[in-house]
């Protein structure tokens, strides 16, 4: 009888444990879902990834602007293929340097390779060279944190003067003229820029050069050239400083402009100011032209666009890889990962993370080029 009671008690505890585990599983599912069965959708997405002979680990570095997209892609790719990818996101300049020193399998850059960088890549890419593969699009938001101001419109000359230290207070007449209904405070402007070489800086200053040259007398490039202001590392660092500093303004990829940071609307001369949105960035990227030669697919953007709804401060992040001469031990995983992120499923991930997919005609060329990497 005693043994029977013990068996019954064990069965009861076992049933309770199973039901408790099921309850916890259900709670976990609710916590991680976003309006649907996220685990099922993740499994489905991962199931469409072609791993081929991918194995081992990949080291990569570069653009911090695309870091959120890379993280989302890596999650799915690792789930499907078991390959571990360590993407540092140290900035475009650091990524290109690491690539040309043979330290990473691929790099991310918000600016296409310069001629001297292509030349340097030939030492790493045996029999080939580094090429630009446009993979991620998106607006560079000018995020601000001004108490009592929920919406702000700026034009290129005013933006240039703010980041060049010529406009130093939020109730400046030039800002008032663009925002007649806003209650602009008598508050010092705290302008933040990137501390390291950055493709985001390069694209941001290309906009200023194209649209406000007289107010931005600099040559541009990955390094910040204006005097004054404050600096922070990475898009995340700039975003953090803007978020915690009253009167702050800074430039960052849109996915970082959240939680206390409001993006500026840009007066381009179009019929209405243009918001920093994925859709408006896509309209700008659609006008881009492929200017690279051979297998290189670098693009030329129109930073001075005045088309209705086209957001002018837009970047395209390139994945940089060898067209020939990739390392044999990392080539299968590199091709499989790049093939996935350029696929229809991979590009869909971008819209879900505040990035803009690359237009169909351009991404089709990217896919063909990836298939030919060797």
Mean pLDDT by 10 residues, the chain (374 residues): 42 38 32 38 65 94 94 97 96 96 97 97 97 96 97 98 98 98 98 95 97 97 96 96 98 92 97 96 90 96 94 96 96 98 96 91 96 97
Q: Cα separation of 160 and 167, whole Å?
A: 9
Answer left, alpha or beta for residue 274, where phi above 0 means left and psi between -120 and 50 means alpha.
beta
Q: Are 155 and 266 in contact (CB under 8 A)?
A: yes
**pLDDT confidence of residue 149:** 97
Q: DSSP H helical segments within the chain, as ranges?
A: 2-32, 38-47, 67-81, 92-100, 115-121, 156-163, 173-178, 199-211, 234-244, 278-285, 331-342, 344-351, 360-371
Taking the C-alpha atoms of residue 159 and residue 374, their distance in angstroms, rounded to an integer, is 44
CA 279 to chain centre: 15
pLDDT for 46 equals: 65
Rounded Cα distance, 142 and 146, in Å = 13
Strand partners, 263: 143
pLDDT at 287: 84
């Amino acid at each position: 009888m005693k043994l029977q009671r013990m068996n019954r008690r064990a069965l009861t505890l076992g049933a309770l444990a199973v039901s408790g585990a099921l309850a916890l599983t259900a709670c976990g599912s609710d916590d991680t879902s976003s309006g649907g069965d996220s685990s099922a959708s993740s499994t489905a997405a991962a199931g469409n990834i072609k791993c081929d002979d991918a194995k081992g680990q990949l080291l990569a570095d570069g653009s911090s602007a695309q870091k959120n997209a890379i993280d989302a892609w890596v999650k799915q790719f690792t789930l499907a293929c078991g390959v571990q990818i360590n993407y540092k996101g140290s900035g475009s300049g650091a990524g290109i340097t690491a690539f040309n020193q043979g330290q990473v399998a691929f790099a991310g850059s918000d600016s296409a390779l310069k001629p001297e960088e292509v030349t340097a890549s030939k030492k790493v890419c045996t029999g080939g060279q580094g090429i630009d593969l446009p993979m991620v699009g998106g607006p560079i938001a000018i995020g601000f944190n001004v108490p009592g101001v929920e919406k702000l419109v700026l034009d290129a000359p005013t933006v240039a003067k703010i980041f060049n230290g010529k406009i130093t207070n939020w109730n400046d007449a030039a800002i008032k003229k663009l925002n007649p209904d806003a209650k602009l405070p008598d508050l010092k402007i705290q302008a933040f820029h990137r501390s390291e070489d950055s493709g985001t800086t390069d694209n941001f200053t290309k906009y200023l050069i194209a649209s406000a040259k007289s107010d931005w007398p600099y040559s541009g490039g990955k390094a910040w050239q204006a005097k004054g202001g404050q600096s922070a590392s990475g898009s995340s660092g700039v975003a953090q400083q803007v978020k915690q500093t009253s009167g702050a303004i800074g430039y960052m990829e849109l996915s970082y402009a959240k939680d206390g940071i409001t993006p500026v609307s840009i007066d381009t001369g179009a019929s209405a100011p243009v918001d920093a949105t994925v859709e408006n960035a896509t309209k700008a990227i659609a006008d881009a032209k492929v200017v690279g030669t051979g297998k290189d697919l670098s693009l030329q953007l129109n930073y001075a666009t005045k088309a209705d709804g086209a957001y002018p401060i837009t970047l395209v992040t390139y994945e940089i890889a060898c067209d020939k001469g990739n390392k044999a031990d990392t080539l299968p995983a590199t091709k499989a990962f790049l093939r996935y992120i350029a696929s229809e499923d991979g590009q869909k991930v971008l819209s879900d993370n505040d990035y803009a997919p690359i237009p169909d005609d351009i991404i089709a060329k990217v896919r063909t080029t990836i298939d030919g990497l060797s």
